[in-house]
A and B are shown apart, each in its own frame.
Chain A
Amino acid sequence: MAATFRIVFVLALVSGFFPQVLEAAKIGDVTETRVIEQMFRFLSLKDPSVRATVIGTTLLGICCGLLGPFIVVRRLALVGDTLSHAVLPGVAMGFLWNMEKDPLAIFIGASLAGLIGACAVNLIKQTTHLKEDSALGMVLATFFAVGICMMTMIQRLPTGNKSGIDKYLFGQAAAMNQEDLILLSVVTTVVLLLVFLFYKEFLVTSFDAGFARSIGFPVNLIHYLLMLLLAFSVVVSLQAVGVVLVSAMLITPAAAAYLLTDRMHRMLILSVLFGVVAGVGGAFLSFLSNNLPTGPFMVLSATAVFLAAFFFSPRRGLIPRWWRQRSQTQRICRENILKAIYHILEAGEFEEEGVTFSELSIRRNEDLLEVRPQILDLEKADFVTVSKSENRIYFTPDGWQTACSIVRNHRLWELYLTNAVHYAADHVHDDAEKIEHVLEEETVRQLEKQLNYERRDPHGKPIPTFADIEKGLPTARQSRPATGYMSKS
């Protein structure tokens, strides 16, 4: 992690102190619209304005990606949204300061407006009965309305260089000039340094504010520090993403990272990575055609990353989870049939080695037509063999061992519930029916020990032991090698 930080840090410094590499020719001035040509222009990075865009969006991705995880785990996602809308009057004020697009004035004005907005939300929450969501929505829309009014007033002003101010609404990465980039790299460096230095503080206050307070961390101060950084990063991202969509750059990459890992530092790294991918990807896509806003493309790139994580995350993704659930259902179904075969054999005191299809269908209370495919599935999985001539089903060693351990788990659990937890003997079956599929070997050994290696369950039936399972089917041991069972082994 430290290595990553160092690399990013150096990158930020380089772009900050040597801005002459980023000459600011405007991409928007270029008129060619051929997609392939544009693609090569972007990918070759020969064009200085392309380089500027790439560096700008990379820094933006780092900046937002670093703060996003804290916002997401603190459930402040919509505070970020409110903050990003609330900066609009500040942008207009900064513009009015000397009637041109001066990044520093706009930065200061917007940060102030954002912070005032955040404070207004807190004030409304504390002094009225209104809930947080109402307060957020109210501040968001009111500040935005003020901003919109000021923007429309600026538009009709006769003086001043108004070009570029309307780009703040939807963003135009290509409109970023040298000063914007310097500001962006300074803010990114500050955010990096602060997150790196106060990582522990941010982490603890995010997850357990009470604990943090008890060990003497200034929780409120850290909260406001985070808000300040948030306002900074929102403001510097405005030029590229726009007021309306900047919150997505905070939330979406972090949420995607949140689906992939449980450790905060990994989440930070992933989120930065996704932020950069989304930023550069969005710039690339919007570059393909003329005069497309960058912000929406960045947001959609981020959403694509999120959707990929949502569906395919190995542990939490929808599809792996669905797959796991399916295979689990299949396993449980198989185990239940094996158990039923065991019960039939046991009822015949292991005189027979196989069961017929009709016996099984009666035991399972299912139609023959339903039983047959299930058995064929078991045969394919090598749990049973079916003798076509006798129309009988025989265990393979695997099948026997599985059936036996399921029955053992079931009876052992029933015994545990009656003896150790003092359930009534007629109440334990349903519970055991569920737990039998998930008991692990170690737990079983502990249970056996705790129950003094008792061999009979509450209903008087024998509990198979590990030794029984190893030995194989009783009849097979005693009598001649049975057709189905032995032929497989």
Chain B
Amino acid sequence: MSELIPSFDFQAVFIVPWQEDFQGYFLIATMGFLISLSCGLIGNFIMLRRMALIGDAISHSVLPGLAVALFLSKSLATTAMFIGALVAGILTTVLIELIHQNSRVKPDAAIGIVFTSLFALGVILINVYAGEVHLDTECVLYGEIAFIPFEPLIDIGGREWFPGSVLRMGGVTLLVILGIVLFYKELLVTSFDPGLSVSLGISTRTTHYLLMGLLSLVIVSAFQSVGAILVIAMLILPGATASMLCSRLPAILWLTAGLCLPATLAGIHLSIWLDCSMAGAMVIASAVFFILAWLFSPRRGLLQQLIQKVRLPEVHNLTLDNSQE
């Protein structure tokens, strides 16, 4: 066991990495922050609409899209991969709808069938064309965020700043924020009360597909860094933590954004300490935040519930005493 978990040394875990390779860790932290910010923000709306598992399905099914795009374009050309994955993501939602509308198979089973099939197809494609496609099945599962510093940097204004993937993620994050700011009212109304939104003249369908498109975009761009399965955690955990602490949507969104940076940094240091997968450690850090909120949230935490359960008989007795008098 002692081999597995290295001894904790504050200096080595928190200070040395930044002194040695500031730029590398800065890039990783930026990427992690951007991914969890865009995922977390959009994840709030996904959760409100009870579509968390559609996100799961999309994140698995972008794989064949990536593989086909890579195979066709014979290069890591980002545009081709983006388009391939986006098409696969949208195809997933369409297929799920198709199966569940044209047969008695329930939506949950339809989701299960579609994403496993597409994911299997992707894994096979990658294995068969292993020589030609520069994509590793293991990385598909847990991402390669740690390799970001080794990507070539792109010139902006005469200085080399960020690699392409970080810039792209930044663009997607901006798009998500812009989308939420511009269509806030629409997203809010359609999430909580589809009936009202129809009577207000807001198309639930358009909003739904807008959100799905945005979701696919986010998942596709986060896919390479954090892998298929961990994206779901990025989508759900920050929003869930925030919603344990407050209940108004704007507050939840701000809190989600605020939680992203500490979770990312905690994840990075956890992975430095344990020398394990960085994306996995970021998810674990977010999960720890959620568990803390779950236990100690002043509004709806487990502890609070327990206190109330203990107090309830007291209050009850008190009112009984009052009524007897």
Enumerate chain A interface residues (CB-CB to B < 8 A).
72, 75-78, 80-81, 85, 96, 124, 127-131, 133-134, 136-138, 140-142, 144-146, 148-154, 156-159, 166, 169-170, 244-245, 247-248, 251-252, 254-255, 258-259, 289, 291-293, 295-297, 299-300, 303, 306, 310, 316, 318
Q: Which residues of B contact A127 (CB under 8 A)?
A: 294, 302, 305
Secondary structure at the A interface, as helix, strand, loop or mixed, is: helix
Question: B124–A153 contact, CB under 8 A?
Answer: no
**A248 is contacted by which of B120, B142, B233, B276 (Cβ under 8 Å)?**
B120
How many residues of chain B have a CB within 8 Å of chain A? Answer: 63
Question: B230–A258 contact, CB under 8 A?
Answer: no
Question: B47–A131 contact, CB under 8 A?
Answer: yes
Question: A296–B141 contact, CB under 8 A?
Answer: no
Docked CA distance A451–B108 (Å)? 49
A to B CB contacts below 8 Å, 10 in the list: A136-B53, A137-B52, A138-B233, A145-B233, A149-B284, A293-B137, A296-B119, A296-B123, A296-B127, A297-B124
Question: A142–B284 contact, CB under 8 A?
Answer: yes
Docked CA distance A409–B2 (Å)? 86
Docked CA distance A310–B52 (Å)? 26
Question: B229–A310 contact, CB under 8 A?
Answer: no
Q: Which residues of B contact A292 (CB under 8 A)?
A: 124, 127-128
Question: A248–B116 contact, CB under 8 A?
Answer: yes
Question: B230–A255 contact, CB under 8 A?
Answer: no
Question: A137–B235 contact, CB under 8 A?
Answer: yes
Question: A247–B116 contact, CB under 8 A?
Answer: yes
Question: A81–B99 contact, CB under 8 A?
Answer: no
Docked CA distance A85–B119 (Å)? 14
**A293 is contacted by which of B1, B123, B271, B280 (Cβ under 8 Å)?**
B123
Considering only CB atoms, which chain A residue lies closest to B239 in the complex? Answer: A134
- Given contacts A75-B106, A133-B50, A255-B113, 14 further A-B pairs with CB under 8 A are A77-B106, A128-B244, A130-B47, A131-B47, A136-B52, A141-B231, A144-B229, A145-B230, A148-B142, A152-B142, A153-B276, A157-B4, A244-B60, A303-B113
Q: Which residues of B contact A154 (CB under 8 A)?
A: 4
Q: Which residues of B contact A141 (CB under 8 A)?
A: 229-233, 236-237, 283
Min C-beta distance of B139 to chain A, whole Å: 11
Question: A78–B290 contact, CB under 8 A?
Answer: no
Docked CA distance A159–B140 (Å)? 27
Question: A78–B280 contact, CB under 8 A?
Answer: no
Q: Which residues of A contact B105 (CB under 8 A)?
A: 72, 255, 258-259
| Most chain A CB neighbours (cut-off 10 Å) among B4, B231, B284, B294 | B4
**A140 is contacted by which of B232, B275, B281, B290 (Cβ under 8 Å)?**
B232
**B294 is contacted by which of A128, A133, A291, A297 (Cβ under 8 Å)?**
A128
Question: A299–B284 contact, CB under 8 A?
Answer: no
Q: Which residues of B contact A80 (CB under 8 A)?
A: 112
Question: A248–B117 contact, CB under 8 A?
Answer: yes
Given A78-B112, A140-B232, A157-B4, CB of A245 within 8 Å of CB of B120: yes
Question: B276–A150 contact, CB under 8 A?
Answer: yes
Q: Which residues of A contact B128 (CB under 8 A)?
A: 289, 292
Min C-beta distance of B120 to chain A, whole Å: 4
Question: A252–B116 contact, CB under 8 A?
Answer: yes
Question: A245–B237 contact, CB under 8 A?
Answer: no
Min C-beta distance of B259 to chain A, whole Å: 14
Docked CA distance A159–B4 (Å)? 10
**B300 is contacted by which of A129, A140, A169, A300 (Cβ under 8 Å)?**
A129
Min C-beta distance of A101 to chain B, whole Å: 17
Docked CA distance A381–B108 (Å)? 45
Q: Which residues of A contact B5 (CB under 8 A)?
A: 153
**A142 is contacted by which of B3, B60, B117, B283 (Cβ under 8 Å)?**
B283
Question: A169–B141 contact, CB under 8 A?
Answer: yes
| B138 at the A interface (CB under 8 A) | yes
Min C-beta distance of B19 to chain A, whole Å: 23
Q: Which residues of B contact A78 (CB under 8 A)?
A: 53, 108, 111-112
Docked CA distance A125–B119 (Å)? 28
CB neighbors of A among B266-309 (8 A): 271, 274-277, 279-281, 283-284, 287, 290, 294, 300, 302, 305
Interface string of B95-120 (1 = CB under 8 A from A): 00001001111101101110011011
Min C-beta distance of A246 to chain B, whole Å: 9
Docked CA distance A316–B99 (Å)? 12
Q: Which residues of B contact A245 (CB under 8 A)?
A: 116, 119-120
Min C-beta distance of B103 to chain A, whole Å: 6
Interface string of B1-18 (1 = CB under 8 A from A): 101110000000000000
CB neighbors of A among B27-41 (8 A): none
Q: Which residues of A contact B127 (CB under 8 A)?
A: 291-293, 296
Question: B104–A258 contact, CB under 8 A?
Answer: yes
| B221 at the A interface (CB under 8 A) | no
Question: A251–B112 contact, CB under 8 A?
Answer: yes
Question: A153–B275 contact, CB under 8 A?
Answer: yes
Docked CA distance A255–B99 (Å)? 11
Min C-beta distance of A274 to chain B, whole Å: 12
